[in-house]
Amino acid sequence: MKENKKQPVVSLNHYLLGVRFDNYLRLLARANFKIKPSKIPQTAFIGLLSLVLAPFALIEGAVCAIPIRKTKIEKDPIFILGHWRSGTTYLQNLMSRDPQFGWASPMQTAMFSNCVLLGWALKGGVQKGIKGSRPMDNVQYDLSLPMEETFAIGNFTPYTLDHLLAFPIVWEKYVDCAFVDELPQKHRDGFKRAYQYAMKKITMMWKGKQLVLKSPDNTARIGCMLEMYPDAKFVNIYRDPYDTVRSSVNMILSQVNLVHLSPLPDTDLRELLEDMVVERTFDMYKDLFAREESFKPGHYISIKYEEFVQEPERYLREIYETLGLDGFEEALPRFRAFIAEQKDYQTNKKSMNPRLREKINKHLGFYFEHYGYEMITDEEMVTEG
């Protein structure tokens, strides 16, 4: 697959810039050290920065070991569930305005292994790296907004789906990382140790606040989340599957174009990603739907994206009431201010690939039925002109 546009030789906008050195070597080895020639400067830059930061990461690990071990997660996290591109980012950004909550910050995710001792020195670089809109939409990132905790996990382990973006030549090694519930027990236990370590470190930095977390991957590993946090609460946000799947495919394509280090697979990458996203959407929601009746009362709520964005304050109030969360009225002025800031946000509008629409119709009929969305057929598309 050809890249859409010329990329800078070395970019600060790469999710691996803060990767721990030993993990970086592990990721390169998993890709058999196959690096695209034009990506050698970027690969070398990431490695050099990681090597320079390695001694500081060791010191931070030693200094923080006892405080992290002693940190208690008094209140299990609130997990925002939902497929990629289903509105999870907007919902988390909004909930993060409530000062009673903590969340995974850009510093804690991009520079997880060095965020305590060197946060002050690395802050400017991280800000430059996330400045501007994301490649797949118009959402603006800055240091005051949360990010997905999966990037913190990926900083020091291979247990994250995100690594297929940098190493698409071995995408098969990462595509199932989101589905921790299905992994062999050894890998499952390894993920749980890594996740709990990251959550305790982030909780320590937030001085014990309850965390509001959003990684779409978590929708595929609810069983594992409940094993670690049996009193966790869940907010599921869902969206029209055509919009969700199409936008997810476009998102992954744009991100691979920006950050891949290895060669691309010798195949039609768009079609490969279409199949991967549709298949994983099937697996993700089959599991979620089977679990919905088993959540504890007051620990789960499901909301529709299209309705939420029209009346965010109303549905946010419903989330607080259903989950038994205090502090809504106190945080309401902050919510309203953020909603006002986002009122001019426009979603990207793109046409549906007939091939992708057919795959969605074939595999995700149960999703349409469960959430009440209307399936569009070829005949209806012709009728609509």
pLDDT one-digit tens code per residue, 299-333: 999 999 999 999 999 999 999 999 999 999 999 99
pLDDT at 2 over 70: no
Largest CA distance in the chain: 67
User: Residue 190 pLDDT > 60, yes or no?
Assistant: yes
314: containing domain: 21-378
Is 90 exceeded by the pLDDT of residue 352?
Answer: no
Q: Is residue 47 in a domain?
A: yes
Residue 238 included in any domain: yes
Q: Angle at Cα 42 formed by Cα 44 and Cα 5, nearest 5°?
A: 160
Q: What is the pLDDT of residues 203-251, one digit of tens each?
A: 999 999 999 999 999 999 999 999 999 999 999 999 999 999 999 999 9
**Domain-located, residue 385:** no
The predicted-structure confidence for 94-126, as pLDDT tens digits, reads as follows 999 999 999 999 999 999 999 999 998 888 888
Question: Across the chain, what does the average pLDDT equal?
Answer: 91
Residue at 298 is within a domain: yes
The mean per-residue pLDDT over the stretch 173-201 comes to: 92
Whether residue 170 is predicted with pLDDT greater than 90 in this model: the reply is yes
Listed range (26-40, 295-309, 368-382) with the worst mean pLDDT = 368-382
pLDDT of residue 342: 83
> Is 64 inside a domain boundary?
yes
Residues 80, 299: contact at Cβ < 8 Å? no
The number of distinct structural domains making up the chain is 1
Asked if the model's pLDDT at residue 75 lies above 90, the reply is: yes
Residues 374-379: what's their mean pLDDT? Answer: 80
**pLDDT for residue 380:** 53
Is position 12 within any domain? no
- Asked whether residue 80 is assigned to any structural domain, the reply reads yes
How far apart are alpha carbons 84 and 218 in whole angstroms? 11
Phi-psi map region of 324: left, alpha, beta (phi>0 left; psi -120 to 50 alpha): left
* Reported pTM: 0.92
Residue 384 lies in a domain: no
Q: Which residue has the tokens 């309203």?
A: 336
Q: What is the DSSP letter of 210?
A: E
List, for residues 35-73, the tens digit of each pLDDT value.
999 999 999 999 999 999 999 999 999 999 999 999 999
Decide if 364 contacts 282 (C-beta within 8 A): yes
- CATH number at 37 reads 3.40.50.300
* Distance linking the first and last C-alpha atoms of the chain: 31
pLDDT score of 128:
79
pLDDT of 132 above 60: no
Contacts of 367 (CB under 8 A, 6+ apart): 241, 281, 285, 373
